[in-house]
Structure 1
Amino acid sequence: MAATILPDDLVVEILSLLPLKSFCRFRCVCKSWLAFSSDQHYRKKLPRIPFGFLYQKNEHGNAIHLVGLPSGDRDIDTTLSFVPCYEHPLELKGCSNGLLLCYRGGTHSKEISDAIVCNPATQEWMALPNTEAGPAVSYADLKLCFDPLWSQYFYVFKFETTPNGGYDTEVKVFFSEDSTWSNCLWETSDILGGDSLFLNGVLYVDHLWGHYLLALDAPDTCTQLLNHRILQLPGFPNGPEQRFYCFDGCLGQSFGVLCYAQQELDGCIIRIWSLEGSDRWVVKHRLNMNNVFGRDIMLRTNNEGLWYFDYEILAFDLERELVFLADTIADNKIISYSISTGKGSQILNIPRFVDLYRSRLYVPYYGKFPASVLQGAQDK
């Protein structure tokens, strides 16, 4: 009771005295303590939360790896040895604020029943219950959505696409609060298989070809209404019509604000925008890449005459002023670029012809699944 009347400044002073691991656990106690660690005014006084870079090679049976976290922190089991794999290795499909989405299956028809959500920091996991099997030709893409500042529960959005002359995509949602799948909440003729980010209760999904985002509000378990809107992206569009053959930029966030990064047309500059208001993008950074890769030409053509960049933007974190890049010219060198110094350093080297299967920024979350979530998983 006494803690509820302490001024914010005093609470921050107390939290600042904690060891790092204790601080990471205490910030999961309540939303206000968690918010302190994300507040630009207070975060300078608090322990710096470690982060890492998750990746998986595109080879059969390859494990999920992590670089960047302190090697002495053995609580972070990113090999996911606590999850039974059965006959298939785990495949990393998504990461959202410390929770991972993985598949244990190897075929499209089993993807949903073999999906799990787990927390490497607490070694908890739950398998998502089965949904009704769709047509054999359908393709399902799952998006994990978790934001502890918004809710202690997570969502999983399922985009199930079936060719039908064009394409028909149904959207269903898994609610961890009661461990159930919704019926179809929304239908579209678009293919939404691009980058995604969950922020402030909204899932932003990059269209696979169009230069825009679909914003979906997380539905309520009672009404199950799925509000949606379209948000145009800044920069330039890609796709065959524009003679570009590359994926569209990269989504990120900074202090609760949606951000977007994309190369300029020659590839030598990366621009990073933040979303101001509902639809206005403002340039926050212009980053020169010439010195990072040691070359002046970063735009190439393939056999069909389509242009593509010879490096990729994997992820970025404006709070830590870092951008992660993949140099695809020779070996796949993963480079950490510092916005403040303008310098890049290699953190990983993957042999040529061995591609990255998935790569994600990872910040550990020490909060445990609510008891109702674990009980629901057992009941299923």
Structure 2
Amino acid sequence: MEGASKKKLGQDNPTATAASLFTDDLILEILSRLPARSVHRFKCVSRPWRDLIADPVNRKKLPQTLTGFFYNGYKSGAAWSRHFASVSGGGFPVDPSLPFIPNKYKHIALEDTCNGLLLCACYKTPATDKDDYRYVVCNPATERWIELPPPPQPLANRFHSTTRLAFDPAVSSHFRVLQFWRTSLVVENYARGVGIFSSQTGAWVHRDGRLLEKITLFRSTRSVFFGGMLHLVGRLNPENTDKESALVVLVLVDMEGKAWKTIRLPLGSSFETVGLSQGCLYYAGSTRTYIYNNNSKKNTALSTTKITLWCLENYDSGEWVLKHSASIDEPLDVTCAECRVFAIHPDCSTVFLVPIGGDMLAYDMQHQKFVHILNLEKDNVGIYLPYIPLFSEALADADE
């Protein structure tokens, strides 16, 4: 009877029985070839597998998922502060103070993240755009960093630029920093060129913009490095065409600054973001609709937020396909507030959004439910940078 019971347990759990035949090294070798989402799910196979995957020593060999978001804090007349909001299940501890960066940088502002690297702007005085500053690219997981030489444009124009990081560890240990310059005129405020720093050459090059249309890039919206191209969100500003002035486009630029392209984004969203998820490029937007109650004695209104998630199916035709749509009525007691979608999870159909003045929310579009709430510091400036740890020691020309 006892033997029959043991046999039955083995039949009911064949995965655990088969898993016991593999050595730890072989399991790690197999897991290292899988997507991060699959590795995370395999923690549920057994306790030994969970401990094996969670071991800090083994993290260097396994693909990582989203750990959380870096973001800046700022108070008038005070220095920049840096914060980190952890996503449930991320598992990697992050110190947003970046203590490994030398003390010679009095103020550090977070600019961008890309595939485990972090782009920082370092200043002597944060309240002026005429002060000397440097860009620093670092890897928080390995505490390696590089200081970039000064960009080619005059320092007084720093706040008239959008700066982004481009890095793909699967292709090269080298990275690029792209600084898009725009006109300082209020009437014609559009991108006019880009400075590109290459860690391979250690130098900046300047390229004039090659767009026939006049595009204003969104500084507070995320960019995506995918397929050798940087993807940024911008607004089309054709002259004397009010109807078309609200069109939002995706701007694609190659790493040499020679190939520029635009793709129209779906219409009808008040706030928008792009992200790479499960190997595809996605666009998420949100709109808030108010329905006024005319029969009520009080001037009351009901409101709902609609979130849409689109996938770019065809680059040549610019075809977007709607994957998910959800209406959120008064999410989590947040009333009368715009919810801005700012990020898309890289491994699942979850979007991250923040109500104005509220905490960060994670919403599962597939199952249409809230899955996380992340508390934010009150002094945050509203730009959140997704972070996935990169444990590779390789960072080209990094300082020791």
Q: Same fold (TM over 0.5)?
A: yes
Distance 1:362 1:71 in 2: 10
Cα displacement (A) at 1:110: 4.7
Task: Look up the match of 2:350.
Answer: 322
Which amino acid counterpart does residue 258 of structure 2 have in structure 1? L
Match of 2:139 in 1: 119
What is the aligned residue count?
318
Q: Deviations over 1:237-276 (max 9, x none)?
A: 6xxxxxxxx5x41111112211000124625210000100
Partners of 1:197 and 1:49 in 2: CA distance: 16
SS in structure 2 opposite 1:12? helix
Question: Could you list the per-position Cα deviations for residues 210-258 of structure 1 after superposition, in whole angstroms to 9, with x for gaps in the alignment?
Answer: 4101111222xxxxx5211110001326xxxxxxxx5x41111112211
Is 1:172 paired with 2:195?
A: yes
Q: Distance in 2 between matches of 1:211 and 1:368?
A: 39
Residue 390 of structure 2 aligns with which residue? 365
The CA deviation string for residues 5-24 of structure 1, in whole angstroms up to 9 with x for no partner, is xxx99942577765343443
Counterparts of 1:73 and 1:326, CA distance in 2: 23
Partner in structure 1 of residue 248 of structure 2: 211
Deviations 1:142-197 (A, max 9, x none): 11111223332211111122336734622121111121111325356533234221
- 1:52 paired to 2:86: no
Q: 2:229 aligns with which of 202, 206, 217?
A: 202
TM-score relative to the length of structure 1: 0.73
1:342 partnered with 2:368: yes
Q: Which residue of 1 aligns with 2:313?
A: 276
Match of 1:230 among 262, 269, 272: 262
SS of equivalent residue, structure 2 residue 107: coil
1:24–1:49 CA contact under 8 A, matched in 2: no
- Which amino acid counterpart does residue 393 of structure 2 have in structure 1? K
Structure 2 length normalisation: TM-score? 0.70
Gap regions ≥5 residues in structure 1: 1-7, 28-36, 38-47, 220-224, 238-245, 299-308
| Partners of 1:204 and 1:214 within 8 A in 2 | yes
CA contact (8 A) 1:332 1:350 kept: no
| CA-CA distance at 1:73 after TM superposition | 4.5
Task: Please list the CA deviations of residues 31-86 of structure 1 after superposition, one character each: whole Å capped at 9, or x if unmatched.
Answer: xxxxxx5xxxxxxxxxx745112222232324322222679845x43321111243
Rounded Cα–Cα distance in structure 1 between residues aligned with 2:80 and 2:117: 20
Cα pair distance change 1:291/1:115, threshold 3 Å: same
Deviations 1:261-320 (A, max 9, x none): 01246252100001002111011111221152447x75xxxxxxxxxx622112121523
- Counterpart in 1 of 2:61? 26
1:206 CA drift (Å): 0.8
Structure 2 Cα separation of the partners of residues 166 and 71 of structure 1 = 43
1:290-305 to 2 correspondences below 5 Å: 290=329, 292-294=331-333
Cα gap change, 1:145 to 1:9, in 2 (>3 Å): same
Secondary structure of the residue aligned to 1:235 is coil
Match of 2:240 in 1: none
2:155 is the alignment partner of 1:128: no
Q: How far apart, CA to CA, are the structure 2 residues paired with 1:268 and 1:324?
A: 14
Where 1:177 maps in the other structure, the secondary structure is coil
- Work out whether residues 218 and 235 of structure 2, in 8 Å CA contact, stay in contact via their aligned partners in 1: yes
State the 1:200 CA deviation. Answer: 2.1
Change (3 A) 1:98 1:135: closer
Matches of 1:91 and 1:158 in 2, distance apart?
16
Listed as ranges, the gaps of 5+ residues in structure 2 are 1-25, 34-38, 40-48, 237-246, 290-303
Once residues 122 and 176 of structure 2 are traced to their aligned partners in structure 1, the CA distance between those partners, rounded to angstroms, is 19
Go from structure 1 to structure 2 and tell me whether the alpha carbon gap of 1:72 and 1:147 turns closer, same or farther (over 3 Å shift): closer
The one-letter amino acid of 2:321's match is: V
Q: Is the CA contact 2:66–2:345 (under 8 Å) kept in the aligned structure 1?
A: no
- SS of the counterpart of 1:183? strand
1:24 alignment partner, SS class: helix
Query: For the pair shown, which has the larger CA radius of gyration, 1 or 2?
Result: 2
Aligned: 1:285 with 2:308 = no
Per the alignment, do residues 156 and 318 of structure 1 end up closer, same or farther by CA in structure 2, a change over 3 Å counting?
closer
**Amino acid corresponding to residue 104 of structure 1 in structure 2:** C
1:33 aligned partner: none
Secondary structure of 1:131's match? coil
Answer whether contact 2:354 2:361 (CA < 8 A) is retained.
yes
Q: What secondary structure sits across from 1:358 in the alignment?
A: strand
Distance verdict in 2 for CA 1:255–1:71, change over 3 Å: closer
User: Any idea what the Cα deviations from partners look like across 1:116-162, whole Å, max 9, x if unmatched?
Assistant: 11110000111111133427456232111112233322111111223
**RMSD between aligned residues:** 3.2
